[in-house]
Chains A and B, each alone.
Chain A
Amino acid sequence: MRSVKWTKRNSIYLAVLLALAAFLIYLPIGGSRRNINIGILVFIYIALGQSWNLLSGMSGLFSIAHALFYGIGAYGMSLMLARAGSNPLVGLLVGIGANLLVALIVGMVGSKLSGLYFTMALIGIHSIFYTLAGQLTITGGWLGISLPREWQLTRKELYIIALAIAVFMTVLFQVIRSSRIGTMFVALKENPQLAASLGSDIRKWRILAVLISATMASVVGSFYAIYMMAHNAEVFNGTVSLRIMMVCMVGGVGHIFGPWVGSALIIMDEYIRGAMPTEFASLSVVIYALVLIVMALLRPQGIMGSKIFQPKEVDVRAIENLDAREKTE
């Protein structure tokens, strides 16, 4: 086995994680209903963060509208339970199925053309879903959709499921990172041209990254529907996407514990919101923007990160550009 060097950095990780673990255990035992809800929200964003981390941190495709996959997962669950009278397992699978279809389309665009087109395809499809969810009768329009009471769970059950999902997504991230798939994802993020010249089919790996990431976000969205027992098209809201990105960027993009550390931001945000009069509730966006600016100035790689996020273009033939740069140096 490989030996792990014990560095000061490791001690900081451990301290942060222990503090977080202590806080998370305290919440359901001694915490108020409100604190438990914050805990659940934290887990939701950790799990979503891992989904984003896999796509954008590991494989290098920048997902700017990640709420798309989350929202589809939520509607998969709520539509199946409320409209089809089905059970949560079917809801979960329908959400995943719909997500795989959407991910395939976005992934194919993203793998054929440059990263910019991936972003555009994502935004385009996202706005279709956002609008339809708010307009259609079956989704209940902007009023939203309520789930049958029989599927309601207790706070503590929800808390444990949310924790399990967050841990599962974190472990999944690490398992993928250390597998052949993870090596290929990182290779195509760091140098897609070199990866191609070494025989890796960049398109296939890019599409796979979107499929896995969308599935992860879908599970979280489906959980959210059951947690809330009612939701509307706001599951697709841009603030959700922004939060996911913030959690990862503050914590450290591509780092396994990035979303765990970054989710402290969610806690902060919730407490500040609780302390504010309701008319200032939307102030959280301002807070995010401020945090983002401060982070960009002081620590652009995130708290846990070691590397600044740099999305790469997908053009596998572009290696000559590197050579050209060399010549002018």
Chain B
Amino acid sequence: MFLKAENVTITFGGVNANQNVNVSFEKGQIVGLIGPNGAGKSTFFKAVIGFNRVASGHIYFKDEEITNQEPYKICRKGISTTFQKAQAFPDMTLEESVRVGAYCRIKNKKEAMAKAQEMINFVGLTGKEKAKISKLNMYDRKKAELAAALATQPELLLLDELFAGLVPSEVELILKYVKKVSEELGITLLIVEHVLRVVMSLCDQVFVLENGQIIASGSPEEVANNPEVIRAYLGGDSNVAAG
């Protein structure tokens, strides 16, 4: 298995935000993690990248245990992420902030700049290199964050609600880049999303979280037609796939 989370339990003040979560998938896929607000999706994400402490259970990446390792070490092993609330170095230029990601593997400044430029071009931000991050709009900021994550040269990229806060036309556009990440860069994707239409059309495999527990998993069709999922996600009154 490429990524394997085994009985992962995460506790905040006595409440299990994740309880015995099992998620595993192979390399090269686009995997979805869906569930209602507060289900524990972001909590799981942050456990994978070392931000949340796993109380019990194990996480393996390429058969190597990464449970509760420091975030920077996990990044260097090849896992990168974008956060639900877009994170930035507000006072840096776009170029420099993407370069922070590039420095994960490249020590030489010139080479890191080249890598940063490559990723800025990749996400379609060419020409905005010298702009301060704080001056960019939400759409460009999300792309900037994506570029920085890609500059670390990950094998697995986690996207936490990348589409949230964007207008539908922007969602269509950024979707194009997400597909490119998978197809052109060959990076495995784990996508947390509540825009279900996106997940259903994009993913090879979907996991559904509710109240910190996995209640279903399988192909998008299987999951969409699972009565348990329909109940949990939409109160049973409409079709999940319609999003």
List A residues at the B interface (Cβ < 8 Å): 2, 179-180, 183-184, 186-187, 190-191, 193-202, 307, 316-317, 319-320, 322-323, 325-326
What 3 A-B pairs come out closest when comparing CB atoms? A199-B104, A199-B75, A196-B71
The yes or no answer to B193 lying at the interface (CB within 8 A) is no
Tell me the smallest distance from the CB of A38 to a CB of chain B, in Å: 34
Residues of B within 8 Å of A202, CB to CB, are 72
Q: Could you say which of B52, B70, B130 contacts A196, with CB atoms under 8 Å apart? A: B70
Given A183-B103, A186-B91: A200 touches B72 (CB 8 Å cut-off): yes
Residues of B within 8 Å of A190, CB to CB, are 89-92
Residues of A within 8 Å of B83, CB to CB, are 194, 197, 319, 322-323
Q: A198-B149, A201-B70, A317-B71 are in contact. List 16 more A-B contacts (CB 8 A).
A: A180-B109, A183-B103, A184-B103, A194-B88, A194-B89, A195-B89, A196-B70, A197-B75, A197-B81, A198-B148, A199-B75, A199-B103, A199-B105, A201-B72, A319-B51, A323-B85
CA distance in complex: A319, B104 (Å): 19
Judge whether A200 and B51 touch: CB under 8 Å.
no
Judge whether B72 and A183 touch: CB under 8 Å.
no
Can you name the residue of chain B whose Cβ is closest to the Cβ of A197?
Answer: B71
Given A190-B92, A200-B72, A317-B71: A195 touches B85 (CB 8 Å cut-off): no
Residues of A within 8 Å of B52, CB to CB, are 317, 320
Residues of B within 8 Å of A322, CB to CB, are 83, 85, 87
Tell me the smallest distance from the CB of B162 to a CB of chain A, in Å: 14
Residues of A within 8 Å of B105, CB to CB, are 199
Residues of A within 8 Å of B112, CB to CB, are 180
By the criterion of a CB under 8 Å from any partner CB, how many residues of chain B are at the interface?
A: 39
Can you name the residue of chain B whose Cβ is closest to the Cβ of A196?
Answer: B71
Judge whether B76 and A319 touch: CB under 8 Å.
no
The yes or no answer to B205 lying at the interface (CB within 8 A) is no
Tell me the smallest distance from the CB of A158 to a CB of chain B, in Å: 37
The yes or no answer to B32 lying at the interface (CB within 8 A) is no
Residues of A within 8 Å of B125, CB to CB, are none
Residues of B within 8 Å of A183, CB to CB, are 92, 96, 99-100, 103
Residues of A within 8 Å of B49, CB to CB, are 197
Residues of A within 8 Å of B104, CB to CB, are 198-200
Can you name the residue of chain A whose Cβ is closest to the Cβ of B83?
Answer: A319
Residues of A within 8 Å of B87, CB to CB, are 191, 193-194, 197, 319, 322
The yes or no answer to B53 lying at the interface (CB within 8 A) is yes
Can you name the residue of chain A whose Cβ is closest to the Cβ of B102?
Answer: A198
A-B contact pairs, 6 of them (CB 8 A): A184-B100, A186-B91, A194-B87, A199-B72, A317-B46, A317-B51
Tell me the smallest distance from the CB of A249 to a CB of chain B, in Å: 17
CA distance in complex: A191, B87 (Å): 8
The yes or no answer to B220 lying at the interface (CB within 8 A) is no
CA distance in complex: A186, B93 (Å): 11
Residues of B within 8 Å of A187, CB to CB, are 89, 92, 97, 100
CA distance in complex: A186, B133 (Å): 14
Q: Which of B80, B101, B112, B148 neighbours the largest number of chain A CB atoms within 10 Å of its CB?
A: B101
CA distance in complex: A186, B148 (Å): 15
Residues of B within 8 Å of A317, CB to CB, are 46, 50-53, 71
Judge whether B109 and A191 touch: CB under 8 Å.
no
CA distance in complex: A188, B112 (Å): 18
Residues of B within 8 Å of A320, CB to CB, are 42, 46, 51-52
Residues of A within 8 Å of B67, CB to CB, are none
Tell me the smallest distance from the CB of A186 to a CB of chain B, in Å: 6
Residues of A within 8 Å of B101, CB to CB, are 198-199
Question: A-facing mask of B40-65, CB < 8 A → 1, else 0?
Answer: 00100010011111000000000000
Judge whether A323 and B72 touch: CB under 8 Å.
no
The yes or no answer to B217 lying at the interface (CB within 8 A) is no
Given A319-B87, A322-B87: A186 touches B92 (CB 8 Å cut-off): yes
The yes or no answer to B84 lying at the interface (CB within 8 A) is yes
